[in-house]
Structure formats: C-alpha cells, structure tokens
Amino acid sequence: MSLVQDVVDSVAHQCARVVGQVVPKSMITTAKVANEEGGTQLLTGIGIGLAVAGAYAYMNKAAPAVAATAPAPFSPVVVAGKKDVETEAKTEASSTLSLATVRERRNRFAVQINRGDDTGYQCSHFLRSGGEVEEMLEQYELYLKDRTYHHLGYPYNLEFKGEILAPFLQFSINNLGDPFVESNYGVHSRKFELEVLDFFAAIWKIPRDEFWGYTTTCGTEGNLLSIIYGREKLPDAVLYCSKDSHYSVPKAGNLFRIPVVLVESQMSGEMDYDDFRKKLKENAGKPAIVSINIGTTVKGAVDSLAEVKSALADNDFTAENTFIHCDGALAGLLLPFAGESEVANSASRLFQVSFEKGVDTISVSGHKMLGCPMPCGVVITKKQHMKRFAKTVEYLNSTDTTIMGSRNGQASIAMWVALQQKDGIEGLKADVSLCFRNARYLLGILREAGVSSFLNKYSTTVVFERPPPACVKRWQLACTGNIAHVVVMPSCDQAKLKAFVDDYLQCMTEHALAGGGRPDIAGEIGAENCPPFTPSKHSRSTSPAP
C-alpha cells in the first residue's frame, strides 16, 4: 500500500473514532510539502465542517508547521510536532529554549498553593543571597517576556515602550488629593495629569471650564467614583445595569448601599431595552442611576445611549432624577476613533461617548487601549458632581474629591507619554483600525476551521468555544462558562493570532481524540454563529482582512 493510501486510511479511522461516523476517504486531502530538513513531508487533513460538526481534524502529529493547501470550504488543519515548543518558547527573548525550561520558568513564578511545612512567622526564608536576587530578577524578566508574548485573553495592549519612564522610577511620585489643587507634597506629576485630563475632556466633548476628573488606579475606580457621585446627586436612587456589566458596577452598588437592579441582556451582550423599560416601571418614583456599557467585558457589546434615554423619557424621567454613567473601560478609547466603515453603516453609537449626548460620567482604563505599563485609568465628569462630594482636608492642603488618597503619579506620566508616542488622535485611529481589521481576521480563520465564533459590532472581542485548560493557560484566555474570548489589541498581530489558532485547533483535536466533548455555545452566541454559518444581524464578515 502507498504511503498516501496509508495516511488516508489512518485519518479516516481516526475521524471515525472522534466523530463516531465514517468519513468518506474522498474528503481527505493530502499534500506534499517541503520540510525543515529540505526533504518532503506528507500532510493530511479533512474539511472540519464537512466531517460532521464536532470533529477537529488535526491528524498529522509529526508534521512540521506549514500552511496547508486548503480545499474549499474549510482548510485542512496541519499540526506541527515541534509547534508546542515553538509557541511556548519562541519569544523575542528566547528562541532556543526547551519546553522543559519554559515550563520550569513559568512554574517558578506561579502562585504556590501548598507552601510547604513552614507555617511559622520567620522572615528568614524571604531573604536571598546577593547572587540569588539578581538571578531571580533576571529569570522574572524572561518570564514576563514569555507571558507577554502569549497573552490574548484580557483587554491589555502590551506594546508600551517604557524605557523613557525609567529615570522617574527613582522618585516617589504621588498626586495625592485633587489633581487641580496642589498639595504641599511637591514630588507630583500634576502638570502631566492635567494635560491628560484635557485630552480626554476634548475627545469626550466637555469644555475645559466645565469638566473635572482625575487619573484613577483603574477602570474599576472610575466606576466606583461615578456611582458614588450619582448617589450624592440622587440619594434615593436605584442603580440599573445590565447583567453583562463588569462586576465592579453591582459591586459599587453594594459598597455604597444603593439598590441594584440587574437588567437582562440580549444574546449579543447588549442591554435588553424591553426589560429595562419593565424594570423602570417596577421601580417607578425612584430616581435612576444608569450604568451603560461601552463594551461589555465578555462579549464587547455596546449599549445604546439613545435607547436608554428614550426608555427613561417614556417613563417620565428627566435630567433632574437621572444620572448616566458610561463604563468605557476598553471601548471608551475605541469607539470615538473607529471609522464609520469599520462598523458597517451603523455609526450612531460611535458618537455616543460624549458629554454632548447628556452623560454625567465617563471612565476608561489606561492600561487597556492606551497600553500603559501599570493599571491606571481616567474618569471625567461635570464639575457640579464633584462639588457635592468634595471636602477640604487641611493635612493634605488639597481637596478630598477622589476615591483613593495617594495616587500613582507615574501613571499620569505614562498616559501622557503613551499619547505623545501615539501622536495623539492620529495614532489612536490607526490602532483602532488595526484592531478591527485583525479581529475580523481572527473571526475569519476560526470560522474557516469550523469553530463557533462571534464578533460584536463596535468590538474587537472575538468569542469562541472554550478550549481545554492547557490552551487557556498558555494563551491566558478569559473564559466564562463554555465560551472564551480573545480581545484583539494593538499588540496582537495576525501572525500571533494565526499561531494561536493553530495551537487552539491542535488542543481541541487532542481533546476530542482523548474522548473529550466539544462545547455547544449556540445558547451563548446564537446558532447562526455556529457551523454551518449563516449571516445574521450580529455576525460580522467572515472573510479574513487583507
């Protein structure tokens, strides 16, 4: 029997094991390709979608990583024997490491649940000898490089060029108190902070003499501040947010003893406005603090400010008894810079992250789209909201208007530098356009491989079937139930996304070959986003970007 015949038989046999159904041998494709040693290698694959939805056709465990010759409509999938080592170890820092070394390095900095027998109080174990300190920090740097390369799950842009900040790390820069009221503590970066605030006030359209805000610790702090400011305006209010809101929003309600009304979400993750109307009626007579999502955490859905305002107006709410917060942790810096063509003729929401549209507060994280190397953020509001909350503190010689006391002055410099390095709005527009393009590319290659997947309008968050734990851990994916996502950020280029998808498919195939099931996520993303794919109002173009 020829080698080709042998391989085809073996693939057919394996498919039958995986999907419990015989796959016609005519569907199995083979191709001879050059291997790394200069010889040739036989590659084999099947159309995954055709081989009964549910089969992952990674069959060539010994083949090198090469692009497959793809029969329509699905590409055969090719597995690389050495790919695991490559994807694990091939970082900018270390291209020749063995898998064992990479794993050892990662484990060294993992949190140890079992910390040994020593339950005493001695600090002696903490101290390391001189050489050990350097060695540990060197290893840690390599660990960080590896983990930075293999990061896709959280909305963090890991591309920051931070050397420029090095001279300032020797200073304890603290903007304690209000950014606009200089404290007696002189080692601060208020000049940078105020310039950053001016920038955000301009993009979110509120005049300089009307706004107030500050550099926060993170998006969560922006949500906390906004909601407590809402309560200062409306002490008897109810806090409305959708079930897809970030956990910090209902947490703010709990912290500040504000009753929280969770509104149902649509399949896409966007607020269900019918349910919102229903709940407004149920709580008639109580003022409303409404937190709307400018990009939900899991599915990247954007709530419609117009729908929220129309529901409020229809229920006799006015500006006097409402307070609207925009949680724009990621997309507060994405929507304002998206071109209309990128959101397929539905641009109205691009312009809603704006004080001109009647919102009271907007918050964003600084380490997400902007890519600052420390957690940080910005919150902007109207001056009048700050005034209800402000208290003078003699000891500070500043005003207590913020949630925190001490505030990281390095963060304001980092945000200022990030905006300068990006050339302000032009750079942000370029980043946003790249992220939209690459998100469509990722959706396209997942769908070509027959993976149930979904990308919301106005979003770069690609949602798909949750892979086995090894893949989740390797790529630091964020998962909820049966779904996982990749948030496509400026630091995710198409080569990295392709390497991820190859590894993802390999993990899924191995899982299937070992008898594992495939998650059915039609209930989470809609049947039209599961194979066989049909166009729907929520699904985006499946063709890879050029």
- Site residues (CB under 6 A) for ligand PLP? 155, 218-220, 223, 246, 248, 293, 295-297, 327, 329-330, 365, 375, 377
Rounded to a whole number of angstroms, the minimum distance from the CB of residue 440 to ligand PLP is: 21
- Smallest gap from Cβ 130 to ligand PLP, in A, equals 37
3-state secondary structure of 520: coil
In three-state form (DSSP H/G/I as H, E/B as E, the rest C), the secondary structure along 231-282 is HHHCCCCEEEEECCCCCHHHHHHHHCCCCEEEECECCCCCECHHHHHHHHHH
The C-alpha atoms of residue 213 and residue 375 are separated, in whole angstroms, by 17
Q: Which is nearer to ligand PLP, 334 or 505 (CB)?
A: 334
For ligand PLP, the closer CB: 79 or 331: 331
Beta carbon of residue 371, minimum distance to ligand PLP (angstroms, whole number): 13
Q: What is the DSSP letter of 125?
A: T
Choose among 461, 459, 479: nearest CA to 470: 479
**Mind giving me the DSSP string for 277-335?**
HHHHHHTTTS-EEEEEEBS-TTT--B--HHHHHHHHHHTT--GGGEEEEEE-TTGGGTG
Query: Which one of the listed residues 248, 459, 491, 539 is annotated catalytic?
Result: 459
Q: Which is nearer to ligand PLP, 75 or 293 (CB)?
A: 293
Dist. CA 267–CA 483, nearest whole Å: 13
Query: Token digits for 516?
Result: 């594992």
Please tell me the distance from the alpha carbon of residue 520 to that of residue 464, in angstroms, as a whole number. 10
Q: How far is the CB of 157 from ligand PLP (least distance, A)?
A: 12
Q: Do residues 371 and 418 make contact, with C-beta atoms less than 8 angstroms apart?
A: yes
Q: Which residues contact 121 (CB under 8 A, 6 or more apart)?
A: none
Residue 351 CB, shortest distance to ligand PLP, in Å, is 19
Read off the amino acid at residue 320: E
Structure tokens that stand for 220 in this block: 């969560």
Of 334 and 521, the one with the shorter C-beta distance to ligand PLP is 334
Min dist CB 81 to ligand PLP, Å, is: 37
Q: Fill in the DSSP letter of residue 24.
A: P
Three-state secondary-structure class, residue 393: strand
* 348 is annotated as an active-site residue: no
Local structure of 361: helix, strand or coil: strand
> Which 8-state DSSP code applies to residue 483?
E
CB 525 within 8 A of CB 267: yes
Q: From CA 170, how far away is CA 378, in angstroms rounded?
A: 24
5: its two tokens: 């015949």
**Can you tell me the distance from the alpha carbon of 79 to that of 42, in angstroms, rounded to the nearest whole number?**
12
Residue 424 one-letter amino acid: G
CB of 92 to ligand PLP, least distance (A): 26
CB 225 within 8 A of CB 379: yes
Tell me the C-alpha distance between 408 and 405, whole Å.
Answer: 10
In the complex, what is the shortest distance from the CB of residue 381 to ligand PLP, in angstroms, rounded to a whole number?
A: 16
Establish how many alpha carbons lie within 13 A of residue 259's alpha carbon, considering only the half-sphere containing its beta carbon.
11
The minimum distance between CB 237 and ligand PLP, in angstroms, equals 20
Residue 83 or 299 with smaller CB distance to ligand PLP: 299
Nearer to ligand PLP, 64 or 377 (CB): 377
CB closer to ligand PLP, 293 vs 456: 293
Task: Give yes or no for a contact between 425 and 337, defined as CB atoms under 8 angstroms apart.
Answer: yes
> What amino acid positions are annotated as catalytic residues?
459
